[in-house]
Amino acid sequence: MKAAFIDKSRSLNIIDKDIPLIKPGEALVKVHMCGVCGTDIHIYEGVMPWAKLPLIPGHELSGVVVDVGRYVDSVSVGDAVTVDPNITCGLCRYCRSAKRNLCPKMESIGVTRDGGFAEYVVVPISQLYRVPSGLSLDEAAFTEPVACCLHGIARLSIKPGEDVLIVGAGPIGLIHLQLAKRTGAGRVIVAEVNDMRLKLAEKLGADLTVNPSREVVAETINGFLKGKGVEVAIDAAGGSTPLTLALNCLEPDGRLLVFGVASENDAWPIKPYDIYKHELTIIGSFINPYEMDSALNLLASGAVDVKPLISHIISLNDLEKALKREIPNTIKILVKP
């Protein structure tokens, strides 16, 4: 089979290798689509601390089961599936207290074991989810990122009528936009430096879009909301700069979700007095525990529309260009192995 192989940072090769063998409790999936995520870029650049090289990356995938091991009765050959890439131990105190995303022994398909940028991938059956009838495999490749966003939205507990700022209008920001609207948020504002992405945010329901390269975001929001900030802010970009922008737009008693993945070495200077004086809440959100079924339901019902997010479908041969950020005008890139 063909596979994209990273042996060291900034070195990707398309290789021929044997189709992997399955063990009891596993399935072999023929990959239909695998999305390019910021995590894949970080792995390629060598700045993802828990990635294990050499590696076939890729964790946002859909496909069809072509073989199953012994003791498998929950999926069958021919089933269309998507994958939760995060494999937890089930035994630690986090797994046993409904916090499996904090499992210290977690393995991740496409991060610590071979993933979906290949023609075939081996997946434990515990990580497989059947794709509902009527949902395309292209859309099903978005299940994991939608599930991650659902976890963040759940931690925020947006109340009906609360105004929301989303910093970043990449795929994650645009999914958050749709979910925030579904929760009953009042006005949803999107800040993004890419005008193409801002236009898509408008089409998907943003009440206001702001380009930080041309406007002072806090002032624009204050004018739009008639003298107030937002109750909720979501960082969907990653890093100290968007976090500071988001924090500066919060109302007293506001909540900030740290969702975008920052560099491990990035440091965020904040004033503890401001957190104290204004009773601000800063919330972290890590991956997608228990949200895959809900994500599939939202996608299948059309409540979250990811079709407009697909800007490019490429082959494995063009994957390195995507990881080098050399493909222009992207929203979401899908790889068809």
The DSSP result for 38-51, as a single string, is HHHHHHHHT--TT-
Sign of CA dihedral 211, 212, 216, 220: positive
Cα distances (Å, whole numbers) of residue 8 to 47, 101, 317: 11, 27, 18
Find the mean pLDDT for residues 204-233.
98
- For the chain, give the percent of residues with pLDDT over 90: 98
| CB proximity list for 198: less than 8 A, separation 6 or greater | 169, 190, 192, 209, 211
Closest CA to 245 of 268, 264, 226, 261: 268
pLDDT for residue 264: 84
Write the single-letter amino acid at 275: I
Strand-pair partners of 68:
27
265 pLDDT band, cuts 50/70/90, is: confident
In the prediction, which pLDDT does 305 show? 98
pLDDT tens per residue, range 287-300 = 999 999 999 999 99
312-329 pLDDT, tens digit per residue, is: 999 999 999 999 999 999
Count other C-beta atoms under 10 Å from residue 184's C-beta. Answer: 11
- Smallest CA-to-CA distance from 208 within 198, 195, 218 is with 198
Domains and CATH numbers, the chain: 2-142+306-335 (3.90.180.10), 148-284 (3.40.50.720)
Do residues 193 and 168 touch, judged by C-beta distance below 8 A? no
* Cα angle for residues 332, 256, 211 (degrees, 5° grid): 50
Beta strands, E only, the chain: 2-8, 11-16, 26-35, 60-68, 80-83, 86-87, 107-108, 120-124, 128-130, 164-167, 188-191, 208-210, 230-235, 250-258, 281-284, 310-314, 332-335
The number of residues making up the chain comes to 337
